[in-house]
Amino acid sequence: MGAAPQDQAPGRGEAPYGRYLAYLQAGQLAYQYSTAAARPVFFPRVRCPYSGRDCLEWRVSQGRGTVYSTSVVYPRKGEPYNVALIDLDEGFRMMSRVVDVDPHAVRIGHKVAFRVAQDPEGGDPVPEFTLLEQA
Amino acid sequence: MSNTFHRGAAVIVGAAESDLGAVGEACSPIDLMAQGVYRALDDCGLRIDEVDGLFCATSQSRLAGLALAEYLRLPEAYIDSTSTGGSSFMGHLVRAQAAIAAGLCDVAVVAYGSTQRSLGRKQTSRAEWNPYESPFKPFLPPTAYALAAARHMHQFGTTREQLAEVAVAARQWALRNPAAWEKTPLTVEDVLASRMVSHPLTIRDCCLVSDGGGAVVLAAPGRAAQLAKPPVYLLGSGHCTTHQTISNMPDLVETGARVSGAKAYAQAGLGPADIDVLGLYDAFTINTILFLEDLGFCAKGEGGAFVSGGRIAPGGALPVNTNGGGLSYCHPGMYGIFLLIEAVRQLRGECGARQVPGAEVALAHGNGGVLSSQYTVILGGAATL
């Protein structure tokens, strides 16, 4: 049961999350695009989940999107905060948060823009979003 | 894919809960699992040494099948401890029937146990780190269901009051079930005024955190014929896994229950109008609304209006979650076994003040993960075989 020869061993830095993280560290929101299925793929994977083929290319999002759904989490300690699902204009969805605004003011359908947030505790940077001025 | 399902290949002959509620820190999840097994065997008159198939899952044991085989001293029993979260036991039921039909075992138990209330949820269901979700600190599972509820409200005008109606109906059923955790009435206003957990869901939109376990027993038809309790049959089943993580759910307002339900109805040769009593995995109030829609009891988007005015409460047109549900009866983390136990009891006519008169067909719908795994089973009494 040997590995298929076209498989690229996902070594350190080449693992899907490693590539994604490297883009984030460079200030970019990256996603994969399947040339076989002609559609974006997110979260990043070792191969295209639509075809099983080795046909994923990395692309960089323009970072504009729309709030697909939103919640406000009430922790036992501390202030309520936003958790949202964002549909990026390129056609993929991700979890993130909308910041610099009252978490209850975030509405489904709001247009948002990506930025990188550094983790104050030294963890990996993450994507977060701010509201674009509503038309 | 060939269909190896044979209606009547096995019979559900026993069903029982373990102790429920708060059992204390000294009790183990396998204690409750085994207690459920022994009581379910007592229920039908079979002995433990006749059991040769073990189907079980719990979030508190990585090797639940081995733990149960050790506890019950059944070294040669066939084991399946697949976990699809709270829906695991619907899968166990289907595969127990298939295993009996294939001659792998003759008497199978499907079992569950959990002490998550006594030990605390963090110790019993440790979250797995996901770099695409965990950094944003969703409070899981509630936030995932809150995102679905918010989307349903946005698309269809569903209201928090309509969500609350689900909790109120469950509470009214629970007041008719002596085994239910909750003992006092609940109003829509109570639900809305409760502590917010993850907007738009309050603590009363969320299931209980209890201890508990239980089991059902299946037997080959020849063995089952010698037993006293009325037989219950698996008439159809269906499963669908749309995602694991909520950010990968294709559509937050349509669950895999649409697919799992259609498969189960097709296999059973039945439709929603044939279902006498309905058990829907109500980990959160939005679940009941989504599953009523996806299983064909009302049109997509109309679930909020459908549950209003007491329609699913005692005395309403459609009896849903007659045991009081995960919202008011019992929810130790993986609730599916309790849907099976209640369906069996309703079909036997054992439910006392909450009995649905003349119930012949029951649908039990399991949910696992964050609306991830949907598993529908349709059960019936002897007249339906």
Q: Do A81 and B197 touch (CB under 8 A)?
A: no
Q: Which member of B136, B148, B245 has the closest CB to residue A97? A: B136
Average pLDDT over residues A75-95: 97
pLDDT for res A120 = 86
* Three-state DSSP state, B307: coil
Give percent of chain A with pLDDT exceeding 90: 84
Long-range contacts of A17-23 (CB under 8 A, 24+ apart): A17/A43, A17/A44, A17/B131, A19/A44, A19/A58, A20/A44, A21/A124, A21/A125, A21/B131, A23/A58, A23/A60
Residues from chain A that touch B146, judged by Cβ atoms under 8 A, are 71
Predicted TM-score of the model (pTM): 0.96
Distance from CA of B90 to the nearest CA of A (A): 27
- Closest-approach residue (CA) in chain B for A67: B151
Interface test with A, best of B199, B243, B248 (most A CBs within 10 A): B199
Nearest Cβ partner of A108 from B146, B150, B248?
B150
**What average pLDDT score do residues A20-34 get?**
97
CB contact under 8 A, A85 and B132: no
Which residue ranges in chain B fall short of pLDDT 70? 1-4, 121-122, 125
Give the Cβ contact number of residue A49 at 10 Å. 13
Distance from CA of B143 to the nearest CA of A (A): 7
**Listed residue (A19, A12, A88) closest to B131, CA to CA:** A19
Average pLDDT over residues A78-86: 98
pLDDT greater than 60 at residue A56: yes
Residue B167 CA, distance from chain mean position: 16
Residue-wise pLDDT for B266-298, tens only, equals 999 999 999 999 999 999 999 999 999 999 999
Catalytic machinery residues of B: 281, 329
Is residue B96 helix, strand or coil? helix
Nearest CA in chain B to A86: B247
A119 to chain B: nearest residue by CA? B135
Confidence (pLDDT) at B6: 82
> Which residue in A has a C-alpha nearest to residue B133's C-alpha?
A95
B235 contact partners, CB below 8 Å, separation of at least 6: B7, B267, B268, B269, B270, B361, B378, B379, B380, B384, B385
- Test the A interface: residue of B133, B139, B198, B247 with most A CBs within 10 Å: B247
Q: Judged by CB atoms within 8 Å, which residues 98-127 of A form the interface with B?
A: 104, 108-109, 119, 123-124, 126
Retrieve residue A87's tokens.
């549909």
Average pLDDT in chain B: 96
- CA B265/CA B377 separation, integer angstroms: 9
pLDDT for residue A15: 95
| Residue of chain B with shortest Cα separation from A96 | B136
CB contact under 8 A, B143 and A73: yes
> Which residues in chain A (20-59) have CB-CB distances under 8 A to chain B?
21, 43
Residues A2-28, mean pLDDT to the nearest whole number: 72
Minimal CA–CA distance to B253: which of B301, B218, B210?
A: B301
The per-residue pLDDT for A8 is 45
CA distance B163 to B349: 30
pLDDT band at residue A135 under the 50/70/90 scheme: low
Q: Are B184 and B222 in contact (CB under 8 A)?
A: no
* Percentage of residues in chain A having pLDDT higher than 70: 89
End-to-end CA distance of chain A: 57
A83 touches chain B (CB under 8 A): yes
Question: For residues B147 and A70, is the Cβ–Cβ distance under 8 A?
Answer: yes
Q: Is the dihedral of CA B163, B165, B166, B170 positive or negative?
A: positive
Q: Residue B3's pLDDT is what?
A: 55
Residue given tokens 């064909």 in the structure block: B296
Query: Which residues does chain B have within 8 Å of residue A108's beta carbon, measured at their own beta carbons?
Result: 150-151, 154
* AA identity, residue B107: V
Q: Is pLDDT at A11 greater than 70 in this prediction?
A: no
B248 touches chain A (CB under 8 A): yes
Looking up tokens 């989490």 gives A73
Which residues of chain B have a CB within 8 Å of the CB of A70?
A: 147, 150
CA distances from B323 to A47, A119, A133, B152 (A): 46, 46, 50, 26
Instruction: Provide the ipTM.
Output: 0.95
Contact status of B380 with chain A (Cβ, < 8 Å): no
Looking at beta carbons, which residues of chain A come within 8 Å of B199?
Answer: 71-74, 80, 104
- Output the pLDDT for position A133: 80
B147 to A104: CB separation less than 8 angstroms, yes or no: no
Residue B2 phi, psi dihedral angles, 5° rounding: -75, 150
Q: What is the pLDDT of residue B205?
A: 98
User: What pLDDT is recorded for position B1?
Assistant: 46
Indicate the helix (H) or strand (E) that contains B173: helix B160-174
- Higher-pLDDT residue of B275 and A11 is B275
Task: For chain B, say whether A75 makes contact (Cβ under 8 Å).
Answer: yes
Tell whether B146 lies on the interface with A, counting CB pairs under 8 A.
yes
The closest CB to that of A94, out of B132, B146, B199, belongs to: B132
Q: Which class for B89: exposed (0-12), middle (13-18), buried (19 or more C-beta within 10 A)?
A: buried
Say yes or no for a CB contact (<8 Å) between B132 and A95.
yes
Q: Is A134 helix (H, G, I), strand (E, B) or coil?
A: coil
Report chain B residues whose CB lies below 8 A from the CB of A124: 131, 135
